Structure 1
Amino acid sequence: MVPIVGASVFTVACALERTTFWLDLLKREAKVVSEVLDMARKDLNEAAAIASRSRDLPIGRFLLAPLSLQNPSPETFRLSLENAAEKEFVKMRKGDKLLETVVAVSPLLGLLGTVTGLIATFENLNIGGGDSAGGATEAAGGIGEALITTAAGMIVAILALLVLRVMVTLQAQQIDYFSEAGNELELIYREYWVEAGRLPLRRSPTPTERDSYAQLSPSLESPSSQFTDRPSY
């Protein structure tokens, strides 16, 4: 029974933590995306600054990754978006594997508790004794108590499954939302800056922005090479 209680505590803690995460994300991300996309049509530096102020949100870090680059080609811009999206989706799946384990193991733990309880009940049952009615009553009580663990395991598994399905649904919605926002940002970059020949001289990044970039795009060029002066396209 103790492992089932531990699994239930973990499930509740995970549900509370993920609820806080998703409520904050869903409440703020639309505003961040709107502000960044609107500003990206006018000033890439300011758009990057807006995204940088929202680095506590996955969508903020996602949009900041390409905007932190120094006048990248459209292909590099897209690669940066894809790289940042993959990292954010991994973070969004936090706790999924453990919840899947709870869903699979909790019913088995409950069944194990029931079996061991039944074994103990029948071992203590005095079949040849004189008080057969009292023994039957005691056995019935022991069996009922043993079955509680099965019910508890199934309840915990059902709760964990519900939490997991909600999280997976929200993650799928975020994949679509990231794709939509990323595609729009890339189109803005191509139409308003690359094709129009308006790529600006980018300001030097602040130390905070350098650290953010290093965390967002380690597979691309190093921050020092990205922020050096180079010709516009």
Structure 2
Amino acid sequence: MTRVFDLFLQGGPVMWPILALSIFTISCALERVWFWFRLLSQEDRIVRDVLDAARYDLQKAAEAADYARHLPIGRFLYAPLKLRQPTPETFRLAMEAAGDKEFVQMRKGDKLLETIVAMAPLLGLLGTVTGLIGTFNNLKIGGGGTTAEASRVAAGIGEALITTAAGMIVAIIALLVFRILVTLQSRQIDYFAEVGSELELIYRQVWYEPSTVNSNPALPPSTAYVNDTFSSSSEKY
């Protein structure tokens, strides 16, 4: 631990913003790990309960989804089920709107990680430049030099290398976390689409009863209207 602290001090003042970026990265990673753990460990059970109930009782399906509204999948399924006798188009629109809203929440932290991936190497490069500047200032060309001057030159080189390494390490960790989150988000979008399609299909097949415009479903509305008019006119004559 003392060795790490000594290396941190040798890195110079640029190490402080790099440390702040590392703290942000770890905090974001821990928060996202908790979010995805809760979601992935419960969503299959929630989906199964809601879909099974939807085949027999929409009210029970809505109650099951409402009970899981603390999770994105629960809010996604509850959005169309809370409507009263919606058309299939309205049913799908409610799911799509809820899904878009949940996907925004799933991308929470992405911008922060992208910023850290871009900034950390630049801060490391800044530390490299400042360390080299200090090295050249302490380097006396053509002179014999002293032990103290040689130590200052070595300290400048050490500062240049330490900040570069620290910046790259933070950027690599942030990039790794970011790529994992993007993969999880992509899979979740596909999963939401699959579940939403299955719920919509159940609603169309079991619960939706389109209103009949005319008694003869084989005829379009305009044709039925013309036939009715013609029949009534014939009866008069």
**TM-score of Structure 1 vs Structure 2, range by shorter chain:** 0.7 to 0.9
The unaligned stretches of length 5 or more in structure 1 are 198-233
**2:107 corresponds to which of 86, 93, 98:** 93
**1:64-75 matches, cutoff 5 A:** 64-75=78-89
**1:1-233 matches, cutoff 5 A:** 1-127=15-141, 129-131=143-145, 135-195=149-209
> Alpha-carbon deviation of 1:120?
1.8
The two structures have a TM-score, normalised by structure 1, of: 0.80
Q: Residue deviations 1:121-160, cap 9 Å, x none?
A: 2213344544356534541332022210011000000000
> Alpha-carbon deviation of 1:170?
0.2
Partners of 1:170 and 1:131 lie apart in 2 by: 58
Partners of 1:130 and 1:173 lie apart in 2 by: 65
Q: Residue deviations 1:93-113, cap 9 Å, x none?
A: 001011001001110010001
Q: Which residue of 2 aligns with 1:215?
A: none
Amino acid at match of 1:191: Q
The unaligned stretches of length 5 or more in structure 2 are 1-14, 212-237
Q: Percent identity?
A: 65
Q: How many residues align?
A: 197
CA contact (8 A) 1:127 1:135 kept: no
**Structure 1 SS opposite 2:101:** helix
Partners of 1:107 and 1:159 lie apart in 2 by: 12
CA contact (8 A) 1:36 1:47 kept: yes
> Alpha-carbon deviation of 1:115?
0.3
Partners of 2:96 and 2:32 lie apart in 1 by: 24
Q: CA RMSD in A?
A: 1.7
> Alpha-carbon deviation of 1:163?
0.2
**Structure 2 SS opposite 1:131:** coil
The two structures have a TM-score, normalised by structure 2, of: 0.79
Q: Which residue of 1 aligns with 2:221?
A: none
CA contact (8 A) 2:125 2:164 kept: yes
